[in-house]
Amino acid sequence: MPAKALRQQAMTDVRRALVLDAARTVFESLGIEGASIREIARAAGYTPGAIYSYFESKEAIYGALLAESLERLNAAVSAAEPLGDAPGPAERLEAKASAWFNFYSDNPRELDLGFYLVQGMQPRGLTSQLNEQLNDRLHAALQPCEDALQALGLAPEAALRETTALFAHGVGLLLLKHTGRIRMFGQDATLLFDAYVIGLLERIRQDLI
């Protein structure tokens, strides 16, 4: 690619990133229903027309933010390595489950994006194709847990069921943590999640004896 084209692409990438950063702030403040291209443009320091040169709608901006969030989630899960000199599927399950849980625990705004909490828990405005693609990326982050469960001896259907239950349990704890409701129980969300994983592994071992 010619040098001029590279510079133009670099500028486009920078401007697009500025729009996304501004949009994230606007969505967090107003939700996707309350947000507008005009508000996003104002926060980014651009005109509404300039925004449309990068994104066709505010929903497209939201989808891009969520896609980037899911890529960061997948990177965190991929980077998580099990402990021990010769780790097995149990250690792999613990490492990968902790990776996605800790990602959302440390980044509550990513959880908001991932579950549409900034717009009332409804994927309004996202096309079915985009929503399916985003769901695939979320599933990819959970796939290592499912693979580890199969390696432990579970049938594919059982591994999927347990992965779903694990994820649902983790998300419930994350919501309790980020809303502050966990304090009414005097509990720690991470310790409770770790205990669930340990209990899951023990139950699997007993069932497979």
pLDDT digits (tens, 9 = 90+) for 138-183: 999 999 999 999 999 999 999 999 999 999 999 999 999 999 999 9
Long-range CB contact pairs, 33-42, < 8 A, 24+ = 33/119, 33/120, 33/124
User: Mean pLDDT for the chain?
Assistant: 88
Q: Which residue segments constitute the domains of the chain, with CATH numbers given?
A: 1-55 (1.10.10.60), 63-207 (1.10.357.10)
Asked whether residue 117 carries a pLDDT value surpassing 50, the answer given is no
Q: At what angle do helices 128-151 and 89-106 cross, to 10 degrees?
A: 140
pLDDT in tens, 68-103: 999 999 999 999 999 877 889 999 999 999 999 999
Q: What is the pTM of this model?
A: 0.85
User: Pick the residue with more confidence: 131 or 4?
Assistant: 131
Long-range CB contact pairs, 11-17, < 8 A, 24+ = 12/54, 15/46, 15/50, 15/54, 16/54
Averaged pLDDT, 104-127: 70
User: Which DSSP letter does residue 80 get?
Assistant: -
For residues 158 and 142, give the distance between their C-alpha atoms in angstroms, rounded to a whole number. 14
User: Which DSSP letter does residue 152 get?
Assistant: T
